[in-house]
Structure 1
Amino acid sequence: MAEAHQAVGFQFTVTPDGIDLHLSREVLKHIYLSGVTSWRKRAIRFKNGVLTGVYPASPSSWLIMVIGVMSTMYARVDPSLGMIDRIKNTLPVGEYLTVQTQTVLSAVVFATGLWLALIMLLRYTLKLLLSYHCWIFECHGRKSFSTRVWLNLVKIFSGRRPLLYSFQASLPRLPVPSVDDTISRYLESVRPLLDDDQYNQMEVVANEFKKDPAPKLQKYLKLKSWWASNYVSDWWEEFIYLKGRGPIMVNSNFYVMDLMYVTPTHRQAARAGNVVHAMLQYRRKLERGEHAPLRALGVVPMCSFQYERMFNTTRIPGIDTDFVQHLSDRKHVVVYHRGRFYKVWLYFGGRHLWPSELELQFQRILNDPSPPQPGEVKLAALTAGNRVPWARARLKYFSEGVNKASLEAIETAAFFLTLDDEAHGYDPEKLKSLDLYAKSLLHGKCYDRWFDKSFSLIAYKNGKMGVNVEHSWADAPIVGHMWEYVLATDCFQLGYTEEGHCKGDVSKGLAPPTKLQWDIPVACQEIIEGSYLLAKEIADDVDFHGYVFDEFGKGLIKTCRTSPDAFIQMALQLAHYRDKGEFCLTYESSMTRMFREGRTETVRSCTSESTAFVKAMENLKEKKEERLALFRKASEKHQHMYRLAMTGGGIDRHLFCLYIVSKLLGIDSPFLKQVLSEPWRLSTSQTPQQQINLVDLQKHPKYVGLGGGFGPVADDGYGVSYIIIGENLITFHISSKFSSPETDSYRFGQNIRQAMLDIRALFEQKNDKKKEKEEKKSPVALTTAHLTRHTPRDTLHETHPTRHTP
């Protein structure tokens, strides 16, 4: 009971002699330190807010401007062309405002106005410079003179030492493509998927839409683009995510995995302690805006608005639509273990808990033998089922009493943590280790992750970690940025003792975690069970296969003078054709973060060029030289489409917004209906590595991440996520549904492997010819391509059944 006594700030008793007051110095000390920390945070945020607000200038430049103006006045030169005198005449003369003071104040006002005008000019100039995108369409490694000049100008106007949000006001708005361009590109994208009759019919419908009602819809969209920061993002969040009434588990949420080969400690509580502490460090820098903004080429800034809702955020269910609740500076985290929920404070004495203190708290939870309360075990299944039952149950059973307080603790927590009672991770000796690891992160037991939280951190009993992420508030690269920082901080800054514990001491008087209390009636337990059964049916249907491709990586692909992403996308097209015997509408996500509040755009990877290449690969009579030429043509087309998507020339977000406008206006459009109903039977995404400087892979080659993945998008399709790790490794995360007789994730993984090897063979033949020419000139000469050439393996290290069960 010592902790309980120390938690009381003061005690008083009423006696015949009056009130006997006892104060706890220890608690008052912590109250004082908390207040000091709070005010320090406010001061730092205010300072960084000022720095961001005046960027690319600085507060010191204001002082220089004032001194400069005052100096010219003493030299009897008026830089204001009479404006200082006009300001002076408007100021009243009195006892406290002498003529001299009037003059100085007028000069300060003019200097301040001039300073603000220059800031606006700098920002507008930078915005114009950032609206230039011709650089992205140039060949890699070849910069034109105009691009070099442009890059230097961007560097000059970008200022020094920018903060995370410094460039937000200087980013251009996402442009609205013309209807003609969008329709033309759409017809081009579906041409390889339709026969002549179907295409002619689609062309007629598209042209009718272009005449009417497209011009009317376009005008409203243009109006929105002038008024809103981004004409897509708010509707995308609302209509694609928040208005969905189906389960978000598997269908929307995605996951991120731990390091591939390294487990820093096998102590569950210790690993969770270090990772949570690293997350708190990241959050502190995030709240202060102290992270460096992501910049393409190290120069062109990316939008940072998605970072704002990473922590202290929950998706709240509603009857008609959900909404995202974001709070500031939450000081606790909620932990789930064996059916019980605990509230753990993250601060003590005005500071973050040290990793060793967090380890102690988590170990206390692991050691707690108390049983769950009735209905508590599967409570989180409400977040895994349909949204309407969850919204109604929340209103009826969680709006008062202990249920309201406990639910509020979860929804206002910094994030959600699960101390899982299973062991997972990648083990090359175990056949399905990556498959089971991915399924655990994606859906778990359907009741041991709070799927509504911005993210749920999962700590396994063998020390492995992972993250399940709610998708509405941000996209995968945002969470990936945080996760890269956390893993690097955990391994290379915080570290562990020889016994695997967190480093550091533990403060005395640290109160234990608080177990959340519930009073869940039988009727509510039935709703929970219904959500669980639906979620379990979805989870059991996920056919997942994780494949580590180590035959070669981007190092060899670059020697082929092609984009690694285009190489993989062409391999996916070839693999899908071999898997299903047909082509399909293919989704690849690209970012539009070069624009303010940009999120994603679609690259339609199945093109006439890619289908021609695939058909040539399957035609035994086709010469390899022709196959290689078709591959290069298809890759260049894919890269061009990717660049168009990044620079606002994509198809799908424009069509989506036109469809929303048509619905709001009550206009029926057969063309838009058909476009928006087309299934994406192959949905793909690359997980980017954004902070390569955090880990030196030359010195630490084992410290590579596994990336992440998502569930299948179509009932009869595949979801494929991949991460290009270092120079010689690519990991594929493949998902589909067992209920579909057309798909098999393992089979598709094998087809991807063979497609990758077959495409590489095209370049090997070319490199062999170069080698022969070199050897004729000099028998000892070896080309770089020959030295980097790999020999394909005939068999895999492991075998796998054609179809497996979860």
Structure 2
Amino acid sequence: MARLLSARCVASLRKSGINLRTTALGITKQNYSSKKGSSTEYWSQSDTPFMQHQKSLPRLPIPKLEDTVRRYLAAQRPLLDDDQFRRTEKFAHDFQSGVGKRLQEELVAQDKNNTHTSYSSEHRLNSFLSIRTTVMHVNPFMVFNPDPKTEYNDQLVRATNMVYSAMRFMKILEGGLQRPEVSHLNLTKSETDGFKSLVRRASSILSRPADMSSFVRLFNSTRIPKMRVDELFTDEKARHLLVMRKGNMYVFDIVDRDGDLLTPAEIQSHLKHILSDPTPAAAFPLGVLTSENRDVWAGLRDKLIAAGNAEDLQIIDSALFCLSLHDESMRDRIHLSYNMMHGDGCNRWLEKSLTIILTKDGHAGISHDHASLDGLAVLVFQNEIFEETTKRPLVHPGSAAAAVDSASAVRRLQFNLDSELENAVKKARENFDSLVSTITIDTMEFQKGGKARLKKSKLSPDAVVQLAFQMGFLRQYGQKAVARETCSTAAFRHGRTDTIRSVTLQTQRCSRAFVLQPGRHSAEQLQAMLSECSTSHRQLIKEGITGQGFDAHLIALKHLDDSEGEALHGLYTDPAYAAINLSNLAAKPLSL
């Protein structure tokens, strides 16, 4: 299932020392005007260069092999019975003393020859690109809050403001004027002029700069389906927007030949033209093909190219981003979540690195390809866009669209499809509907406590949430949860994520006490168990964000082992290794 990210997930980045609300580490100059005078292409300009800290970022450390094996076995212990664990323990120790030792030496040697990056970055990316199931399973989505001024939630008004703000964000990135994401260990000092001056000169040991390299894939990027392993494609020269409505695709240039953005009124005119287009829903919406198995879609894409659609596919791939306009109003949060996750499957190009979604009643969200982007870039983008469109909108209810020839400026893409491709689209829709029928979303709002109360009790809110997930699974199914969550390693050069294995002996004991042994423990004993869970979980988080998790390390060693053309070591063919990587309960961390 696709993973839901909310604005609260910014807390997972704070674990890496990244505080998105306290990172304005340059004097910000407002109202940097474009040549067009009436528009404002740059809403801010940071005195600290965007990539200021990139070269000074530490590289992700390669953990000691014995530490990785120890952590791996600790994660397996609560999931296995005694006989299973002895088998897995034997594989792990044999790996550590044998082939693993040689692979570790090779990995260290490779790392020394690739000082421009971190040892796990390529392997992590390949892991994403090698996924052969539908990308619906991995593409995260986020939902914007409604504009507090309700009249600005009109679909056309909000879409225009968001598109224009997104383009201004792109211009800031192009100019290197976006502030780098950095936080001070003492957040009360991070806004002082003295500290700002210091970080402009050098990366301070008191600050935690974040890797900004993934920002380059926010725009003009797409994941291209290929047999076995997909590819990432970026065309920085393209300056057109892709808009999808009713399964139809439209494009128009949003940057002119001089490099200036269209005015908000011009964008409004073009979007109004698309929303008013009487063309019926596409009979064969190609977007649904992107929800197929990756190898199946790769083969169909080759057939599309052979049928004469190469140019239009290139237009889709190179578009700045995708704007998905839905003709449906949302009933409630559950309906909204389904819509943002996948919609009807026909109005998305799931491979675009970034898609902004607008429903008929102005609810907005973001979907993104996880191979291209991780949480940091998308969360920064979302926060900036929401801030600008709600506090400084440039299009207002009743604003007049520009008197331009939108009918000539906007082009609807039309594809050549033979009977085989038409049948493939029909089959993809059937597969999509079948998959969606297995997805269930429900919500519950808990109002009897929260982060502040848990922290007052010296408990990690994230540990308690993860524990609640495991207890719920045990109560519902009577089984152990195989749970994991991601943590950010953005404090390292080309750092992405690693995995926190949140099921521990402590959480297992605590879950049994609450769910299976009611009344057998005193309140003090239960509180002590909660405290133990919190302490062990904090340790796992610290290991993860400092590059001491075991998942990225084992993946890198596995890639080396696999590249030698011989059978993988038993550690990797052990059913327990496969089982721990097929979590029946996966979640995003909320807060320390």
Amino acid at match of 1:625: E
Give the corresponding residue for 2:322: 416
Q: Structure 1 residue 353 and structure 2 residue 259: aligned?
A: no
Match runs of 1:473-488 below 5 Å: 473-488=372-387
Q: Structure 1 residue 185 and structure 2 residue 71: aligned?
A: yes
Give the corresponding residue for 2:544: 645
Deviations 1:610-660 (A, max 9, x none): 222223334312111121112112101110111011111101111111111
Deviations 1:163-211 (A, max 9, x none): 2211111111111111111111111122222222222222222212222
* TM-superposed deviation, 1:464: 1.1
Match runs of 1:76-87 below 5 Å: none
Give the corresponding residue for 1:677: 578
Q: Is the 8 A contact 1:319 1:387 kept in 2?
A: yes
Match runs of 1:489-504 below 5 Å: 489-494=388-393, 497=396, 500-501=397-398, 503=399
Q: Is the 8 A contact 1:584 1:681 kept in 2?
A: no
Amino acid at match of 1:317: P
Give the corresponding residue for 1:234: 122
Deviations 1:332-379 (A, max 9, x none): 111111232211221357421233322221111111113467x5x421
Q: Is the 8 A contact 1:384 1:447 kept in 2?
A: no
* TM-superposed deviation, 1:476: 2.4
Q: Is the 8 A contact 1:589 1:600 kept in 2?
A: yes
* Whole-angstrom distance in 2 between the partners of 1:289 and 1:564: 37
* Whole-angstrom distance in 1 between the partners of 2:93 and 2:587: 34
Determine which of 464, 474, 485 is the counterpart of 1:577.
Answer: 474
In terms of mean alpha carbon deviation, does 645-654 or 510-519 score higher?
510-519
SS of equivalent to 1:390:
helix
Determine which of 258, 276, 286 is the counterpart of 2:173.
Answer: 286
Q: Structure 1 residue 212 and structure 2 residue 98: aligned?
A: yes
Deviations 1:428-458 (A, max 9, x none): xx6xx22221111111111210011112221
Give the corresponding residue for 2:349: 450
Deviations 1:515-552 (A, max 9, x none): 22222222211122222222221122111223333333
Q: Structure 1 residue 369 and structure 2 residue 278: aligned?
A: yes
From the superposition, tell whether residues 261 and 613 of structure 1 become closer, same or farther in structure 2 (CA, over 3 Å).
Answer: farther
Give the corresponding residue for 1:463: 362
* Whole-angstrom distance in 1 between the partners of 2:112 and 2:368: 32
* Whole-angstrom distance in 2 between the partners of 1:325 and 1:508: 33
* TM-superposed deviation, 1:570: 2.5
Amino acid at match of 1:558: K
Q: Is the 8 A contact 1:269 1:359 kept in 2?
A: yes
Give the corresponding residue for 2:235: 327
Q: Is the 8 A contact 1:378 1:529 kept in 2?
A: no
SS of equivalent to 1:542:
coil
Q: Is the 8 A contact 1:318 1:391 kept in 2?
A: yes
* Whole-angstrom distance in 2 between the partners of 1:639 and 1:443: 34
SS of equivalent to 1:649:
coil
Give the corresponding residue for 2:48: 162
* Whole-angstrom distance in 2 between the partners of 1:382 and 1:549: 39
Determine which of 193, 211, 217 is the counterpart of 1:303.
Answer: 211
* Whole-angstrom distance in 1 between the partners of 2:460 and 2:590: 14
Give the corresponding residue for 1:221: 107
Q: Taking structure 2 as the reference length, what is the TM-score of the superposition?
A: 0.82
Give the corresponding residue for 2:527: 628
Amino acid at match of 1:392: G
From the superposition, tell whether residues 372 and 518 of structure 1 become closer, same or farther in structure 2 (CA, over 3 Å).
Answer: farther
From the superposition, tell whether residues 576 and 378 of structure 1 become closer, same or farther in structure 2 (CA, over 3 Å).
Answer: same
From the superposition, tell whether residues 504 and 302 of structure 1 become closer, same or farther in structure 2 (CA, over 3 Å).
Answer: farther
SS of equivalent to 1:265:
helix
Give the corresponding residue for 1:800: none
* TM-superposed deviation, 1:680: 5.0
Q: Is the 8 A contact 2:484 2:586 kept in 1?
A: no
* Whole-angstrom distance in 2 between the partners of 1:723 and 1:278: 28
* Whole-angstrom distance in 2 between the partners of 1:545 and 1:516: 37
Q: Structure 1 residue 244 and structure 2 residue 150: aligned?
A: no
Match runs of 1:342-741 below 5 Å: 342-348=250-256, 350=258, 351-371=260-280, 377-399=284-306, 401=308, 403-424=309-330, 433-494=332-393, 497=396, 500-501=397-398, 503=399, 506=402, 508=404, 511-618=408-515, 619=517, 620-665=519-564, 666-674=566-574, 676-680=577-581, 717-721=584-588
* Whole-angstrom distance in 2 between the partners of 1:608 and 1:719: 18
From the superposition, tell whether residues 261 and 516 of structure 1 become closer, same or farther in structure 2 (CA, over 3 Å).
Answer: closer
Give the corresponding residue for 1:272: 159
Give the corresponding residue for 2:41: none
Question: Is the strand fraction higher in 1 or 2?
Answer: 1
SS of equivalent to 1:169:
coil
SS of equivalent to 1:166:
coil
Q: Is the 8 A contact 1:303 1:596 kept in 2?
A: yes
* TM-superposed deviation, 1:567: 2.6
From the superposition, tell whether residues 170 and 721 of structure 1 become closer, same or farther in structure 2 (CA, over 3 Å).
Answer: closer
From the superposition, tell whether residues 680 and 390 of structure 1 become closer, same or farther in structure 2 (CA, over 3 Å).
Answer: closer
SS of equivalent to 1:168:
coil
Deviations 1:465-499 (A, max 9, x none): 112211101212321210111111110011653xx
Amino acid at match of 1:678: A
Q: Taking structure 1 as the reference length, what is the TM-score of the superposition?
A: 0.61
* Whole-angstrom distance in 2 between the partners of 1:324 and 1:622: 54
* Whole-angstrom distance in 2 between the partners of 1:722 and 1:359: 38
Q: Is the 8 A contact 2:217 2:234 kept in 1?
A: yes
Amino acid at match of 2:272: Q
Q: Is the 8 A contact 1:656 1:676 kept in 2?
A: no
* Whole-angstrom distance in 2 between the partners of 1:631 and 1:231: 36
* Whole-angstrom distance in 1 between the partners of 2:365 and 2:578: 34
Match runs of 1:771-786 below 5 Å: none
Higher relative contact order (CA 8 A, sep 6+): 2
From the superposition, tell whether residues 721 and 171 of structure 1 become closer, same or farther in structure 2 (CA, over 3 Å).
Answer: closer
Amino acid at match of 2:303: K
Q: Is the 8 A contact 1:175 1:225 kept in 2?
A: no
Deviations 1:269-294 (A, max 9, x none): 11110010110011111122222222
Give the corresponding residue for 1:86: none
* Unmatched runs of 5 consecutive residues or more in structure 1: 1-135, 139-159, 425-429, 683-716, 725-729, 731-806
State how many pairs are aligned: 520
Of the two, which has the highest radius of gyration? 1
Amino acid at match of 2:476: D
Q: Is the 8 A contact 1:382 1:528 kept in 2?
A: yes
* Whole-angstrom distance in 2 between the partners of 1:207 and 1:509: 71
* Whole-angstrom distance in 2 between the partners of 1:448 and 1:162: 39
Deviations 1:655-696 (A, max 9, x none): 1111111111224311122254124565xxxxxxxxxxxxxx
Give the corresponding residue for 2:31: none
